[in-house]
């Protein structure tokens, strides 16, 4: 197993069996060695199990692309299938197929992929499609899954991360502009800085609010009162 990298070529290997569909998300490195990122499978519903083989294989394609949506959306990738007729269906803009597959094709319009045929003996998704996960996932809609993934993404990325006073101190000690402001506060000398590493525009902004700034003498290692200065610095830099 490997971590997903947006810089590597991405493949989605799919397969459909009598009772389920399987998919493997993989990437190829600079030496053209395939590394597996994720496995997925699900059981077919009673209705889906009565589809023709071509329709089941097409279902595997649309389900895999939507299942790995967060990895695939907005990028070019290759779908690998054991069903050779799908090469014509997905790679030829003039192909004509059943109404059901045409509807699935509409759902795939947001993805940029090329379908490639590969013999079944080389397909790692073959086992997954014959031993699918028996879950209610088959009944869930694409919209509901996308909504759940989006909410999970927001929770992981929008909850603010609290900063410790030590982190504020460490960042301040490496910032030439804030160090110049500290010196100006301590000695009440607000002359234009001569150090080219100091952001003169930001320094002047701090100068205009100098009466609201202070340096902690009790905890000099923390340099500046973190309740005001970091916010201003983040605002203007």
The per-residue pLDDT for 44 is: 93
Smallest Cα–Cα separation from 62: which of 116, 105, 26? 105
Count of CB atoms situated within 10 Å of the CB of 190: 17
Determine the Cα–Cα distance for residues 188 and 195; give it in Å rounded to an integer: 18
How many CA atoms, within 13 angstroms, populate the side-chain half-sphere of residue 167?
A: 5
pTM of the model: 0.58
Predicted confidence pLDDT, tens digits, the chain (237 residues): 899 999 999 999 999 998 999 999 999 999 999 999 999 999 999 999 999 999 999 999 999 999 999 899 999 999 999 999 999 999 887 888 889 999 999 999 999 999 999 887 777 888 888 888 775 444 455 666 667 777 777 777 666 667 777 888 888 888 899 899 998 998 888 988 888 889 989 999 999 998 888 887 654 544 444 444 444 444 444
Domain-wise residue ranges, the chain = 9-158, 165-236
DSSP string covering 161-205: PPPPHHHHHHHHHT-HHHHHHHHHHHHT--PPP--TTS-HHHHHH
CB 37 within 8 A of CB 25: yes
Query: Is domain 9-158 classified as CATH 3.30.420.10?
Result: yes
């Amino acid at each position: 197993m490997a971590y997903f990298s947006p810089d590597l070529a991405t493949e989605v290997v799919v397969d459909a069996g009598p009772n389920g569909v399987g998919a493997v998300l993989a990437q190829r490195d600079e030496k053209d060695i395939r590394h597996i990122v994720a496995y997925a499978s699900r059981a077919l519903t009673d209705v889906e199990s009565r589809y023709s083989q071509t329709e089941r294989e097409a279902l595997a394609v649309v389900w895999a692309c939507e299942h790995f949506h967060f990895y695939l959306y907005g990028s070019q990738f290759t779908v690998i299938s054991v069903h050779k007729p799908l090469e014509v269906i997905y790679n030829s803009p003039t192909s004509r197929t059943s109404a059901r597959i045409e509807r699935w094709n509409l759902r795939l319009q947001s993805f940029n992929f090329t379908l490639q045929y590969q013999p079944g003996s080389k397909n790692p998704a073959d086992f997954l499609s014959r031993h699918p996960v028996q879950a209610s996932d088959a009944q869930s809609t694409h919209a509901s899954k996308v909504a759940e993934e989006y909410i999970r993404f927001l929770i992981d990325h929008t909850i603010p991360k609290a900063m410790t006073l030590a982190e504020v101190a460490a960042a301040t000690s490496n910032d030439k502009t804030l160090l110049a402001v500290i010196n100006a506060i301590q000695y009440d000398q607000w002359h234009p800085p001569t150090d080219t590493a100091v952001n003169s525009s930001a320094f002047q902004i701090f100068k205009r609010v100098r009466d609201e700034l202070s340096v902690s003498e009790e905890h000099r290692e923390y340099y500046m009162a973190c309740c005001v200065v970091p916010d201003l610095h983040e605002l203007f830099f």
